[in-house]
Homo-oligomer: A and B are copies of this chain.
C-alpha cells in the first residue's frame, strides 16, 4: 500500500531496506477517503501529516466571490502538510478528487525518523523542494501559455508524475478531473476547458473518454506545450524503480 510513497521518495534519495521499512511504519495508519470530501478544511487545526497512498486529491483555496482555485494536485505517493503543523491550522483546504487511501502521520514521529535515516531526511527535503518547483511551474504555465497548451502541460505533468511512481501511463490512465476542476487548476472557465480539450482531441494529441486519458504520442504533446520534465527533479532513482512491472500491469488495464 505504501509502495507509491516509497517509489516517489526513492527519486529524492537512495533508500535502504531499513528506510523503506521505516517509511511503511510511519505511514501505517491509513484511512479511506471519498471524492469531494475535504481531508482538511481551511482554518482547521492540523495535527497530522498526510500521505496520499491511492487516488487523487488537491489543495484549493477559495476567493470571497465564491471562486476556487486548485493550487496543487496531490497524486499517489505525494506528501501533504509536511511543515504546516508549525502554524497549527490549515491555510488551505485539501479535498479528495477520487475515492482513495491516505495515511496519517503524527508529525512528532518525523524528526525521529529524519534523525535515524539520512536517506529519509534527504528524501523529505527533496519532496518539498519538488512541491515548490511544481508550484512555480504552474505559475508560469498559467501565466504565459494559451489555453490548449496550458491544459496539455497539466496532462504532461500528471503523466510524468504518475509514471515516476510506477503507474503504467502508456496504456492510458485514470483521469478523474472533471472539466470544472480542470478549470480550477488552470485558472480558466469550464466552458473554455471544454473547447480546449476538444482541440487537443481533434488534433489527436490526447484520447480522453470515460475519465480515462491516453496520450498516443507523448513527445508530440510535450512539444505542443513545451513541456520538459526537468523541473520535477525525477533524476535520482534507477530506471528500474521508475517503471516497474510494466507488462504485468499493462495486461491488467489493457481495455480502454
Query: Interface of A with B (CB < 8 Å)?
Result: 59, 61, 63-65, 67, 69, 71-72, 83-84, 86-87, 91-92, 122, 125-126, 128-129, 131-133, 135-140, 142-144, 186-187, 226, 230-231, 233
Contact = CB atoms under 8 A, between A and B. Distances in A.
Contacts of A61: 136-137, 140
B144 A139 contact: no
A91 B144 contact: no
B71 A129 contact: no
Contacts of A91: 133, 230-231, 233
A125 B83 contact: yes
Given A86-B129, A91-B233, 20 more contacts: A59-B136, A61-B137, A61-B140, A63-B144, A64-B226, A65-B226, A67-B144, A69-B144, A71-B139, A71-B140, A72-B136, A83-B129, A84-B129, A86-B122, A91-B231, A131-B132, A138-B139, A139-B187, A142-B142, A144-B187
A186 B230 contact: no
How many copies the complex holds: the figure is: 2
A129 B67 CA distance: 24
Contacts of A230: 91
A187 B142 contact: yes
The 5 closest A-B pairs by CB, nearest first: A143-B187, A71-B136, A69-B140, A135-B135, A64-B226
Given A61-B140, A142-B187, A226-B63, A132 B132 contact: yes
